[in-house]
Every structure is written in C-alpha cells, then in structure tokens.
Amino acid sequence: MVKKGFSKSYFNLKRVEVIFFLFVFSFASPGIGSASANTGKSGLKTSSNNKKQVIILKSDDFIFSEEWKRYVKYIEDKDIKACLGVVGKELDNESLCEWIRLLSTKNNFEFWNHGLTHSCGEDYSEFKNTSYEYQLSHLQATQQLFKDKFGITLRAFNVPCMDSDENTTRALADVEDIKIWFFGRKGASQLCLDRNGNIEFPYGYPDYNKFVERYNKNRLGQYDHLALQVHPGFWRDETCWDEFLKIMDYLFQKEVVFMTASEYYQSITAVIRVTNSSNNGPGSLRAAIDQANNHSLENAEIFLPAGTY
Ligand SMILES: [Zn+2]
C-alpha cells in the first residue's frame, strides 16, 4: 500500500509495500522480528493477512548419491525450493563440490551449515558437552569452507542429531553471518524456526498417514510457516519415496509456497530505514525502494523521516 499520493509505477514498486512512519529514524540493519509484517509473535498466521503458508524443506546430510539426485531433480522439476544441509567434512569429495557449484547457480536451493564432523555420541556430540571454543571453531570451519570453495556465505544452521547446549547458543551468537537456526534453542540471537510438523516417522522414513494425522490434529495449517525436516539420502526403499510424493501432493493442495530459509527470513524481517541526512528526500526514498527490490523483499517497510514525503 502506498500512501501520500505516490504512484506505484513511478517508484517501480514491483514487490514492495511502503508504509510511511513520520518519525526520524536512523539507519539500522533489521533486528530479528523487528518488522514481522506477516507473522504474529507466536508464529501463527495473523487475521490481517491471507498469505499462503510458507514451507521450508530442511533437507539434512547432503552428499553426492543417487537418492539425492532424485530428490534434487524433483525439486527442480516442480520448481520449488529446498534447503540442503552440508557437513563440512564431506567437502573433500570433489563430485559433491562440483554438484554444489552447479546447484548454487540455480534458484531452487540454499545450502546451510550442518556442522563440520557430524559426530554424535552418548557422552558428547559435536555441539553438546563440548567447549564454546570447540563449537565456534567447527561452525567457522564450515562457513570458511563454503566461502573458499564456492564463494557462498551460509545463512542457516542446525546441529547434527538435535544435540546442542548453551555453548551452541553462545558460539552461534559469534558467527554473525548465520541468521537462522533450524529448531534452535530459546535465547538464541538467530531467527529460530520451530519444529511444528514432521514428514519422517521415524527419522528417515516419510509416512503420509502420520503426516496428515498430525497435520490435522495439531492444526499445522494455522502456522505462518512450517520447517519440515527430511533425509533424502536414506530413502533407498521405494516406499519412502512414494510416501514423500504423497505428502508433497497433500501440501500442494493446500496452496502453500516453498521458500528457502533466507527468503523466509527476508520476508519477515525486511526494514529499510532512511536517515534524516543531507541526502534525504525523494532520492533517498528511491534508493530505499531499489534496495528492497534488489533483495526481493516482499514485505519491506520503509521508514521515512519527517519532511521527506
Ligand atoms: Zn544430520
């Protein structure tokens, strides 16, 4: 919605809604949840929006394999989005690296940090009962591998085997590039995507009947988004694949929209603030709108200082 008589075409507002706040704000990068245009505080859909539910496919343990090839092809054929979790140590496989290079040129995938070693144990795991320094070094190592090998900055993270502790929260807070924590801990400085629904029952086995039963029982349609975890590398049994396809068809009927984690993050946190500086006025408004459009920020709120409209 554009107020104060600005025409949409004049500002080339393809995807940006402009909301004018007649106060002086200084420029600040968006804080998490600071502009939740689309989401209630609880993560439930608000009555004021009729937006489609966002589905984020959190796809764990990405490697170079036939099972993964089938999954990736499906995502491309349907032209939807998936987030592929990579363990740093797997990047010594050149076939995997070549594939990541190829997929990173496409619009369907986002890679995320799934640790360095994926070690899981009873006494300790990569991110549980290990020191802050150890956890930080593992987080940074995978971030750096992606930067060095592919020029990619990873924005999302999840621990292997759901094992984390308070050191994980502290270490993640010191990795500024990571903005999203799948199934994160309370008190995290990242946007934590909750685990409201499941596709696999148990882990590695998609189950259509259980998915639908929980979908209805827990009223999963009420959430603004669902982050759904899958392990396509384990789907060697044809039944697993068929069950996954049925679940996806069920979701398609609900008219959901698939996003990467970063796209979802941007859609709910976009705030662009124009400073009350010497270059304010229509030019700075234009620059802010261009910035929002360049980042495909669907729900950007542009804050203007008084006197610039
Ligand atoms: Zn894993």
Q: What is the pLDDT of residues 92-143, one digit of tens each?
A: 999 999 999 999 999 999 999 999 999 999 999 999 999 999 999 999 999 9
For residues 200 and 281, membership in a common domain is answered with no
For residues 191 and 237, membership in a common domain is answered with yes
Rounded to the nearest angstrom, the distance between the alpha carbon of 127 and the centre of ligand 1 is: 12
Domain assignment present for 36: no
For residues 249 and 223, membership in a common domain is answered with yes
Q: What is the pLDDT of residues 198-237, one digit of tens each?
A: 999 999 999 999 999 999 999 999 999 999 999 999 999 9
Rounded to the nearest angstrom, the distance between the alpha carbon of 59 and the centre of ligand 1 is: 9
Rounded to the nearest angstrom, the distance between the alpha carbon of 198 and the centre of ligand 1 is: 15
Q: Please, which pLDDT band fits residue 307 given cuts at 50, 70 and 90?
A: low
Rounded to the nearest angstrom, the distance between the alpha carbon of 61 and the centre of ligand 1 is: 5
Domain assignment present for 107: yes
Rounded to the nearest angstrom, the distance between the alpha carbon of 162 and the centre of ligand 1 is: 8
Where do we find the tokens 């200084």? 26
Rounded to the nearest angstrom, the distance between the alpha carbon of 131 and the centre of ligand 1 is: 20
Domain assignment present for 204: yes
Domain assignment present for 294: yes
DSSP state, 275?
-
Domain assignment present for 11: no
Rounded to the nearest angstrom, the distance between the alpha carbon of 60 and the centre of ligand 1 is: 5
Q: What is the residue range of 25's domain?
A: 1-6+17-30+273-309
User: What is the number of structural domains in the chain?
Assistant: 2
Q: Of 152, 146, 132, which Cα lies nearest the Cα of 89?
A: 146
Rounded to the nearest angstrom, the distance between the alpha carbon of 239 and the centre of ligand 1 is: 21
Cβ neighbours, 10 Å, residue 164:
23
Do residues 301 and 271 touch, judged by C-beta distance below 8 A?
A: yes
pTM of the model: 0.77
Q: How far apart are CA 217 and CA 121, in angstroms?
A: 33
Rounded to the nearest angstrom, the distance between the alpha carbon of 24 and the centre of ligand 1 is: 46
3-state class (DSSP) for residue 58: strand
